[in-house]
Amino acid sequence: MTTHREGVFVEGLWVEKEGLSSDVAPPVPEVGCTSAPLESMSFHFASYCKAYSEDYMLCKNESQDPRHCLKEGRKVTRCALDLIRKLKENCDKEWTRHWECLDVNNHQLFQCRKEEREFNDCVFKKLGLTKTIPDTPEGQTPIHLKEKPLYK
């Protein structure tokens, strides 16, 4: 296996000359969400798929060859699809309300705290997942749990 791959750059697209064989990368369905639903579920995804995501990132640090980590990448994608399926089954109304709010408010989280609170409550009650913001200072209330997060 060579470390250098030839590709063709055609009007902004990178095209592989060889393509990937099905034994290297069996097909995995696309997640199929736009940015608003993905942002809405991002913190829950981080806790639900933490092990798969960490394996993938460790693999990416080991090698510059993208084919090296296809297996781990597929696991992350499957985990995301599983979480989306569970969110649709259990909290579809709350999730939809939250991501639609993000979509119309230019993805500004502070504009959608009410919908976010309802969504987080549903996810906690039905799936047992809590929203955790990385690097929140010890002893400080996270912004999404504050009653009045805006200072006037």
For the stretch 62-97, pLDDT in tens is: 988 878 888 899 999 999 999 999 999 999 999 999
Within-domain flag for 95: yes
* Count of domains for the chain: 1
Range of the domain at 121: 35-131
Q: Which residues of 69-81 are buried (b: 16+ CB within 10 A; e: fewer)?
A: bbebbbbbbebbb
Would you say residue 15 lies in a domain? no
Helices (H) and strands (E) in the chain, counts: 4, 2
Report yes or no on 92 lying in a domain. Answer: yes
Closest CA to 98 of 86, 85, 82, 114: 114
Q: Does residue 2 form part of some domain?
A: no
> For residue 139, is it within any domain?
no
Tens-digit pLDDT profile for residues 31-71: 888 999 999 999 899 999 999 999 999 999 998 887 888 88
Q: Select the more confidently predicted residue: 131 or 24.
A: 131
pTM of the model as a whole: 0.74
The percent of residues in the chain predicted with pLDDT above 90, rounded, is: 51
Examine residue 150 and state whether it is found in any structural domain, yes or no.
no
Q: Residue 145 has which token pair?
A: 């749990």
Say if 115 falls within a structural domain: yes
d(CA 10, CA 13): 5
Q: Is residue 81 part of a domain?
A: yes
